[in-house]
């Protein structure tokens, strides 16, 4: 039987209503016999006509979106005819056939659209090709196909899904959208609710526009449907089991989202508008359209918590942070299905298509250790970016096209059809909850005003804005529709409008009397922290660990499971580790790291009388490129069986059932996305050590906005402390410009400590102390009462408040009835000095001993505040024989050393024997990091006795006191800073003024106070590309360090 006969048979089958049987039989016969018999001309015609219709179906599915009515301003998608002003488009070249067809529909000129010969009245068999046919019909006229699919793919909503990889997922989308579109999907009460949301949104912007004409608010006008869309999205999420949503968005419509969706009181927003610059004593956190908030939305008996992340201006930078937070929530709440916690990102059209970070973040979406079970992306596609038209902003038809790379379906919808927007948002949730993959809603709209409200957009887009001026609002359009359909009355709309206006006015007036309270002030200022309002539940604990525990960890991580077929190199590595534990000496860098991780993971051990307070346990998450093995073949945190490729993670087998989890994840190749993700992860729970490792430190500059705008400044801007650790391999080994420097100088430049004053004595501190007094002395008496002081301390319960009380007693303040200004100043200066490290924004270390590395990692979890930690980690030292420590340097009683001098207990080389007494040293070399070993070796080989070396292990916060103490031990020594980096890089520019301050303030009686520099000459590039030149430069540094 040939294909024509099969089709004829199918037609007969339908006539006899036994089509299913005929279908199966016919195809069976077709396959059995093959299609090589002679065919009748009519059969061929039928086949070709059917195929043409099938192609038409495919055309709608794959290219219908090109001709869909997505633009509220009525333009079709296609190349611009001319100019920068996108008001005129030509017909789309990529869907000309569909364009012609729909333009003339329902009068079909079949020939003109490639359907020549198709019988318009005949029903053709499309079988399974149209999903809807499963439930309803198998035979279709061309007219029916067009009617159905133009509604599904060319109306005010459409979906791009051909790029979705999984066939069942693709089928699901077709099933959802290929349906008659004639009637609204929503019952009248639901439609009324959509209208009410639109009205509220619209009136909110009008209200702010009226009250704050001269302010920027980045209003949502032109995309008001976003709000009903988001309501629907969150509601559907609640219905499908979502309990919490992490939300990230940029400026556009943010105030509306904050108020309308997240219920941020209008009074607070109004106060923020009004108070810009009023309270000079406040270190203002950030502009109002960057601030985050939280809110809970209730839907019947279900509720969803929404947490809007604060973000910087850098568009898309918040994306990975939000996803890291989402993943952390899933981890800590044990949401294994990832269906209770979800990420939601709102993007601008220009940002989403233009900024690579959006694409980099999407590439995390299906990676086992980074997936959040699908993110919903909503693009506020107002078809403009600042003053730039889409034509000039991207090289793809839609702004959403980058999402196709990860197989995310893309629902496009016209913002003037709020029901379509709502429907797309609901479908996006259903997709996410069903398939656990990313999905995009491209909300096509326009921007009614300029980029901000002070901008006149007609300057650059005259024709578009002429059109927009005459274009009715979404509220007007939708009101009219519901009025026409008798779903609402004008009276009700008027009543709603007046209620909303009254509400806004009332809250506006009330905002005037809403003065910031002392508590609010504390909550947004340094002083809350300084006085101990830290919300941390951690305590200051020693970082040394008892020997028995160290050995337990060490042995566990040196032991493969029985029968495990190790790679010979790994086998010898484990053997060496075992020996380190047995001998207690020769502990190398990687082992020290593993011991730090392993000991942090362990629960309290009651057999040793430990309580949870004494021994908190912490999960550890290490993420970065190739970090499982380690770029330098040092870590081997995952063992692979050489015959089965089975994975085994020793650190998860230290004490089964009594330890937290160690997560180690090789990441994709994006620095910005992964670092942002880990930063986000670190924000969710302070009781977890989160580490990001760069392949080489150099590559961190790809993530600069995450560092500048979040890690080092987030706490000050948004009160979001982080204890994130960055491991940045750094050091001059002759590997060229891009494998030498972790850009130490950049991190040091970001540190907020004052180079010219000891902590607590700088002008900023003085100003803050002054402002604090004024705020506490509410009625301007000129002194504080005990009650005033109590009001400052009262809100801060717990150990830190106790510390404040103790200090007050020590300084004899707060005992008298009146606390005078000078008492307050002294108290605060002392307090700030004692809390110096806590007031810093970043800790930067360049460590030289494995034991100190062990301690600094453990310290991160054992102090009552979280600060980001940048570790310039070694490469060459990982396998350098002298760079080892003893187990004894990690046991109880030992701790992190900010400074290590010759002969100190923490000096792992302990080579003091040949040196002259300290008082006779003629030079003190001060250095940091790897160069110490070169200097030490140079001194020994030259048999120099009168030059001492001190290592600055913690560079920032600068250990003024410790270093001064060491310097004072060498009264006659000339002070020389030695570094391997060029003079305009490395730590020099940071160290120089601080060391000068330390010497001036704390070592004033010494003979030499000047500081000399030895290092590479200033340079544009970090390092030479020639190994020989590198060696010459290194030799020159060492020679000058020991020259006469
Ligand atoms: C990384 C970055 N580059 C440039 C800017 C400056 N900028 C602010 S808004 C904007 C236009 C954004 O357009 P779009 O993403 O479409 O959002 P819209 O304002 O249209 O809602 C630009 C270029 C920025 N904030 N961030
Ligand atoms: Mg835009």
Give the integer Cα–Cα distance in Å for 685 and 85.
49
Ligand 1 nearest atom to the CA of residue 315, by list position: 26
Which ligand is located closest to the Cα atom of residue 383? 2
pLDDT of residue 78: 56
pLDDT interval class at 539 (50, 70, 90): confident
Ligand 1 nearest atom to the CA of residue 385, by list position: 13
For 688-722, what is each residue's pLDDT tens digit?
A: 999 999 999 999 999 999 999 999 999 888 888 89
CA of 399 to the centre of ligand 2 (A): 10
Strands 341-348 and 244-248: parallel
Asked whether 998 and 1011 are in contact (CB, 8 A), the reply is: no
CA of 252 to the centre of ligand 2 (A): 8
Identify how many contiguous H helices and E strands the chain contains and give both numbers: 37, 26
Determine what percent of the chain is predicted with pLDDT higher than 90.
Answer: 68
pLDDT score of 27 more than 80 = no
Compare 272 and 182 and report the one with higher pLDDT. Answer: 272
pLDDT interval class at 81 (50, 70, 90): very low
DSSP string, 576-594: HHHHHHHHS--B-HHHHHH
Encoding tokens for residue 359? 């694409």
DSSP string, 88-104: -B---GGGHHHHHHHHH
CA of 389 to the centre of ligand 2 (A): 9
SS3 of 1024, please? coil
For 458-495, what is each residue's pLDDT tens digit?
A: 999 998 999 999 999 999 999 999 999 999 999 999 99
**Ligand 1 pocket: which of 254, 351, 446 to mutate (most atoms within 8 A of CB):** 351
SS3 of 69, please? coil
Average pLDDT, the chain: 88
Asked whether 902 and 950 are in contact (CB, 8 A), the reply is: yes
Encoding tokens for residue 829? 């200066």
pLDDT of residue 815: 65
Give the integer Cα–Cα distance in Å for 415 and 381.
9
pLDDT of residue 570: 96
Task: Indicate which residue's Cα is closest to atom 22 of ligand 1.
Answer: 386
Torsion angle of C-alpha atoms 565, 571, 575, 578, degrees rounded to 10: -60
Helix (H) or strand (E) holding 728: strand 725-729
Ligand 1 nearest atom to the CA of residue 381, by list position: 16
pLDDT of residue 604: 81
CA dist 1043 → 522, 1012, 1029 (Å): 55, 13, 21
Give the integer Cα–Cα distance in Å for 407 and 402.
10
pLDDT interval class at 84 (50, 70, 90): low
Ligand 1 nearest atom to the CA of residue 347, by list position: 15
For 282-309, what is each residue's pLDDT tens digit?
A: 345 677 777 788 889 999 999 999 999 9
Ligand 1 nearest atom to the CA of residue 253, by list position: 21
For 988-1028, what is each residue's pLDDT tens digit?
A: 999 999 999 999 989 888 877 899 999 999 999 999 999 99
For 961-989, what is each residue's pLDDT tens digit?
A: 899 999 999 999 999 999 999 999 999 99
pLDDT interval class at 841 (50, 70, 90): very high
Task: Indicate which residue's Cα is closest to atom 1 of ligand 1.
Answer: 314
CA of 43 to the centre of ligand 1 (A): 58
pLDDT score of 767 more than 90 = no
∠ CA 1004-1007-1009, nearest 5°, is 65
Determine the angle formed by the axes of helices 188-211 and 266-274, rounding to 10 degrees.
Answer: 20
**Cis ω for the linkage preceding 106 (within 30 of 0):** yes
Give the integer Cα–Cα distance in Å for 73 and 477.
13
- Look up residue 472 and give its DSSP letter: P
Give the integer Cα–Cα distance in Å for 929 and 733.
13
DSSP string, 247-271: EE--STTHHHIIIIIT---HHHHHH
- Look up residue 659 and give its DSSP letter: B
Asked whether 653 and 343 are in contact (CB, 8 A), the reply is: no
Compare 761 and 861 and report the one with higher pLDDT. Answer: 861
For 501-537, what is each residue's pLDDT tens digit?
A: 999 999 998 887 665 444 343 333 333 343 443 456 6
Compare 760 and 709 and report the one with higher pLDDT. Answer: 709
Asked whether 75 and 86 are in contact (CB, 8 A), the reply is: yes
Ligand 1 nearest atom to the CA of residue 314, by list position: 26
Torsion angle of C-alpha atoms 324, 327, 332, 338, degrees rounded to 10: 160
Determine what percent of the chain is predicted with pLDDT higher than 70.
Answer: 87
Phi, psi of 65 (to 5 degrees): -65, -20
pLDDT of residue 800: 52
Give the integer Cα–Cα distance in Å for 617 and 298.
36
Task: Mention every residue, 6+ apart, whose C-beta is less than 8 A from residue 552.
Answer: 654, 655
pLDDT interval class at 25 (50, 70, 90): very low
Encoding tokens for residue 464? 């578009």
Torsion-angle region of 584 (φ positive above 0: left; ψ -120 to 50: alpha; else: beta): left
Give the integer Cα–Cα distance in Å for 406 and 673.
15
CA of 314 to the centre of ligand 1 (A): 8
For 929-956, what is each residue's pLDDT tens digit?
A: 999 999 999 999 999 999 999 999 999 9
Nearest to 381 by CA among 410, 345, 352: 352
**Ligand 1 pocket: which of 385, 393, 455 to mutate (most atoms within 8 A of CB):** 385
pLDDT of residue 53: 94
pLDDT of residue 292: 81
SS3 of 185, please? coil
Pocket of ligand 1 (CB under 6 A): 252, 313-315, 348-351, 355, 380, 382, 384-386, 447, 451
**Cis ω for the linkage preceding 782 (within 30 of 0):** no
Task: Indicate which residue's Cα is closest to atom 15 of ligand 1.
Answer: 348
pLDDT interval class at 95 (50, 70, 90): confident
pLDDT of residue 834: 67
Task: Indicate which residue's Cα is closest to atom 10 of ligand 1.
Answer: 386
Nearest to 986 by CA among 1028, 959, 1017: 1017
Q: Where are the beta strands (DSSP E) in 349-448?
A: 375-381, 410-414, 439-444
pLDDT of residue 807: 60
**Ligand 1 pocket: which of 386, 460, 676, 703 to mutate (most atoms within 8 A of CB):** 386
Rg (CA), the chain: 34
Residue pointed to by tokens 């901008």: 455
CA dist 814 → 29, 809, 828 (Å): 99, 7, 12
pLDDT score of 222 more than 80 = yes
CA dist 177 → 130, 164, 235, 779, 929 (Å): 11, 15, 20, 66, 62
Nearest to 735 by CA among 1030, 985, 1034, 1033: 1030
For 573-620, what is each residue's pLDDT tens digit?
A: 999 999 999 999 999 999 999 999 999 999 888 887 887 777 789 999
Which ligand is located closest to the Cα atom of residue 253? 1
Phi, psi of 411 (to 5 degrees): -90, 120
Residues lining ion ligand 2 (Cβ < 5 A) are: 348-350, 382, 384-385
pLDDT score of 131 more than 70 = no
Which ligand is located closest to the Cα atom of residue 350? 1
Ligand 1 nearest atom to the CA of residue 349, by list position: 16
CA of 23 to the centre of ligand 1 (A): 56
29-36: average pLDDT: 40
SS3 of 158, please? strand
Compare 282 and 392 and report the one with higher pLDDT. Answer: 392
Give the integer Cα–Cα distance in Å for 581 and 550.
8
Encoding tokens for residue 52? 């043409």
Nearest to 987 by CA among 1039, 926, 897, 904: 926
End-to-end Cα distance, the chain: 102
**Cis ω for the linkage preceding 957 (within 30 of 0):** yes
765-776: average pLDDT: 80
CA of 164 to the centre of ligand 1 (A): 29
Helix (H) or strand (E) holding 647: strand 647-648
333-359: average pLDDT: 97
Which ligand is located closest to the Cα atom of residue 450? 1
Ligand 1 nearest atom to the CA of residue 348, by list position: 15
Which ligand is located closest to the Cα atom of residue 289? 1
Encoding tokens for residue 345? 């990102």
């Amino acid at each position: 039987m040939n294909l024509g006969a099969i089709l004829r048979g199918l037609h007969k089958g339908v006539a006899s209503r036994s089509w299913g049987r005929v279908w199966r039989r016919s195809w069976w016969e077709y396959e059995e016999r093959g299609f090589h018999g002679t065919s009748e001309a009519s059969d061929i015609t039928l086949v070709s006509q059917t195929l043409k219709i099938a192609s038409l179906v495919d055309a709608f599915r794959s290219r219908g979106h090109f001709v869909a009515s997505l633009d509220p301003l009525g333009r079709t998608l296609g190349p611009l005819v001319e100019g920068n002003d996108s008001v005129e488009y030509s017909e789309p070249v990529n869907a000309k056939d569909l364009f012609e067809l729909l333009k003339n529909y329902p009068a079909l000129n079949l020939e003109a659209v490639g359907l020549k010969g198709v019988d318009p009245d005949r029903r053709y068999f499309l079988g399974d090709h149209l999903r809807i046919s499963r439930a309803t019909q198998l035979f279709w006229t061309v007219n029916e196909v067009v009617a159905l699919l133009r509604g599904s793919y060319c109306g005010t909503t459409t979906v791009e899904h051909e790029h979705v990889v999984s066939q069942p997922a693709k089928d699901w989308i077709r099933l959802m959208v290929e349906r008659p579109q004639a009637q609204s999907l929503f019952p009248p009460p639901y439609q009324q609710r959509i209208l009410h949301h639109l009205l509220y949104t619209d009136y909110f912007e009008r209200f702010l526009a009226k009250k704050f004409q001269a302010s920027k608010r980045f209003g949502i006008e032109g995309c008001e449907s976003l709000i009903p869309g988001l309501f629907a999205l969150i509601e559907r999420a609640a219905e499908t089991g979502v309990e919490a949503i992490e939300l990230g968005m940029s400026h556009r419509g943010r105030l509306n989202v904050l108020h309308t969706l997240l219920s941020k009181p209008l009074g607070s927003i109004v106060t923020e508008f009004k108070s810009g610059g009023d309270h000079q004593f406040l270190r203002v956190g950030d502009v109002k359209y960057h601030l985050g908030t939280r809110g809970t939305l209730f839907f019947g008996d279900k509720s969803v918590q929404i947490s809007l992340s604060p973000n910087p201006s850098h568009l898309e930078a918040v994306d990975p942070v939000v996803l890291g937070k989402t993943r952390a929530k899933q981890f800590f709440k044990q949401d294994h299905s990832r269906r209770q916690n979800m990420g939601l990102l709102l993007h601008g059209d220009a940002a989403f298509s233009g900024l690579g970070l959006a694409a980099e973040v999407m590439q995390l979406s299906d990676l086992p250790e980074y997936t959040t079970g699908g993110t919903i992306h909503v693009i506020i596609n107002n078809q403009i970016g600042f003053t730039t038209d889409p034509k000039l902003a991207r090289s793809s038809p839609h702004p959403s096209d980058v999402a196709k790379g990860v197989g995310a379906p893309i629902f496009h919808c016209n913002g003037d059809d709020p029901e379509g927007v709502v429907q797309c948002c609901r479908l996006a949730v259903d997709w996410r909850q069903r398939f656990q993959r990313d999905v995009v809603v491209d909300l096509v709209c326009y921007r009614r005003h300029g980029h901000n409200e002070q901008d006149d957009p007609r300057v650059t887009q005259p024709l578009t804005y002429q059109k927009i001026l005459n274009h009715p609002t979404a509220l007007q359009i939708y009101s009219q529709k519901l009025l026409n359909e008798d779903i609402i009355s004008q009276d009700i709309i008027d009543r709603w409008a007046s209620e909303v206006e009254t509400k806004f006015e009332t809250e506006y007036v009330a905002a005037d009397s809403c003065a910031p309270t002392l508590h609010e002030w504390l909550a947004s200022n340094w002083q809350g922290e300084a006085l101990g309002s830290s919300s941390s539940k951690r305590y200051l604990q020693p970082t040394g660990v008892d020997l028995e525990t160290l050995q337990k960890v060490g042995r566990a991580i040196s032991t493969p499971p029985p029968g495990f077929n190790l790679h010979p190199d790994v086998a010898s590595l484990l053997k060496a580790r075992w020996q380190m534990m047995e001998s207690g000496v020769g502990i190398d860098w990687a082992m020290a790291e593993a011991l730090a991780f392993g000991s942090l993971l362990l629960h309290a051990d009651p057999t040793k009388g430990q309580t949870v307070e004494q021994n908190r346990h912490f999960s550890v998450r290490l993420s970065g490129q190739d970090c499982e093995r380690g770029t330098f073949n040092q870590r081997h945190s995952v063992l692979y069986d050489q015959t089965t490729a089975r994975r085994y993670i020793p650190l998860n087998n230290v004490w089964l059932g009594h330890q937290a989890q160690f997560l180690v994840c090789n990441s994709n190749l994006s620095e910005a996305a992964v670092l942002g993700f880990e930063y986000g992860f670190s924000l969710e729970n302070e009781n977890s050590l989160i580490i990001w490792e760069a392949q080489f430190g150099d590559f961190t500059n790809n993530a600069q906005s995450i560092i500048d705008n979040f890690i080092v400044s987030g706490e000050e801007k948004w009160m979001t402390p982080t204890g994130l650790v960055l491991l940045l391999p750094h050091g001059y080994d002759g590997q060229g410009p891009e494998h030498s420097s972790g850009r130490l100088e950049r991190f040091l430049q970001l540190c907020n400590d004052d180079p010219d004053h000891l902590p607590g004595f700088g002008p900023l501190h003085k100003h803050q102390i002054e402002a604090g007094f004024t705020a506490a002395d509410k009625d301007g008496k000129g002194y504080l009462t005990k009650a005033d002081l109590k009001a400052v301390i009262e809100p801060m319960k717990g150990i830190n408040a106790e510390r404040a009380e103790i200090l007050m007693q020590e300084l004899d303040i707060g005992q008298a009835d009146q606390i005078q200004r000078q008492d307050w100043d002294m108290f605060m200066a002392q307090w700030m000095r004692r809390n110096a490290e806590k007031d810093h924004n970043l800790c930067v270390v360049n460590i030289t001993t494995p034991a100190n590395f062990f301690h600094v990692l453990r310290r991160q979890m054992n102090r009552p505040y979280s600060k980001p930690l940048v570790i310039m980690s070694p490469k060459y030292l990982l396998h350098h024989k002298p760079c080892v420590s003893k187990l004894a340097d990690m046991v109880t009683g030992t701790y992190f050393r900010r400074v290590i001098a010759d002969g100190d207990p923490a000096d792992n080389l302990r080579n003091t024997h040949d040196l002259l007494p300290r008082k006779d040293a003629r030079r003190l070399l001060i250095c940091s990091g790897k160069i110490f070993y070169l200097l030490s070796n140079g001194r020994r080989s030259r048999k120099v006795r009168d030059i001492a070396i001190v290592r600055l292990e913690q560079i920032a916060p600068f250990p003024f006191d410790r270093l001064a103490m060491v310097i004072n031990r060498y009264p006659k020594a000339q002070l020389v800073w030695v570094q391997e980096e060029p003079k305009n890089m490395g730590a020099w520019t940071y160290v120089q003024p601080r060391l000068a301050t330390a010497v001036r303030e704390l070592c004033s009686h010494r003979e030499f106070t000047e500081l000399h520099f030895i290092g590479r000459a200033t340079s544009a590039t970090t390092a030479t590309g020639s190994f020989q030149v590198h060696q010459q430069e290194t030799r020159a540094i060492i020679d000058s360090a020991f020259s006469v």
